Amino acid sequence: EPEVTQTPSHQVTQMGQEVILRCVPISNHLYFYWYRQILGQKVEFLVSFYNNEISEKSEIFDDQFSVERPDGSNFTLKIRSTKLEDSAMYFCASSEVRTSGGEQFFGPGTRLTVL
Amino acid sequence: GNSVTQMEGPVTLSEEAFLTINCTYTATGYPSLFWYVQYPGEGLQLLLKATKADDKGSNKGFEATYRKETTSFHLEKGSVQVSDSAVYFCALSGDTNAGKSTFGDGTTLTVKP
């Protein structure tokens, strides 16, 4: 069964460093998302991406964040200068369609720890 | 904007007990509703979904019915097992906001033998 994959599974970085989280969505999907879950809290939407541009972004997704689909398979989230409060689990998701009935498939997540 | 409210947890039950986790929502338009499960150390797995009013989603003995009149999507299971111990998230995907999902706070379920 096709699945969304994410690498690395765990990333430890120093405050102020840049990190890139990588995702490989399901191959025929067209819509891509990043979500964040701070430990013990709810899953929060960061950004959605379609046709090589951002469709929507939340207040969390400030200028420190960027997303890119550098080739036909990868979808990346870059945090330019990490802060302690960026420590969280980051989930990538993809869906075939954008309409509300379209199921989003989530990856296993990358746990980011900022020291 | 859209929002999802789940009953406060954690919930602790004995094996074979009946489970209800309440979920209510606020949304414009006609959202789809989902329950996701997150086992310890793992990602989010879709448990079940319903895309229109009165639809019942079901999977692995879990059920939830989309009630538009009460804006609810309560999760139920008749007889829980130890292996059901996990965090359960109610979520909605609206039809007017780029397809993003809005999640509830999550409810931690612990089932004891």
Verify whether the Cβ–Cβ distance A99 to B99 is below 8 Å: yes
Q: What is the pLDDT of residues B34-64, one digit of tens each?
A: 999 999 878 888 999 998 899 999 999 999 9
Q: Which two tokens stand for residue A80?
A: 């330019």
What pLDDT is attached to residue B98? 57
> Under an 8 A CB cutoff, do A42 and B101 touch?
no
Identify whether the C-beta of residue B78 lies closer than 8 Å to the C-beta of residue B85: no
The rounded mean pLDDT for chain B is 91
Distances (CA, A) of B72 to A42, B31, B34, B81: 19, 12, 11, 25
Contact: A103, B89; criterion CB under 8 Å: no
Mean pLDDT across A3-25: 96
Sign of CA dihedral A2, B93, B62, B54: negative
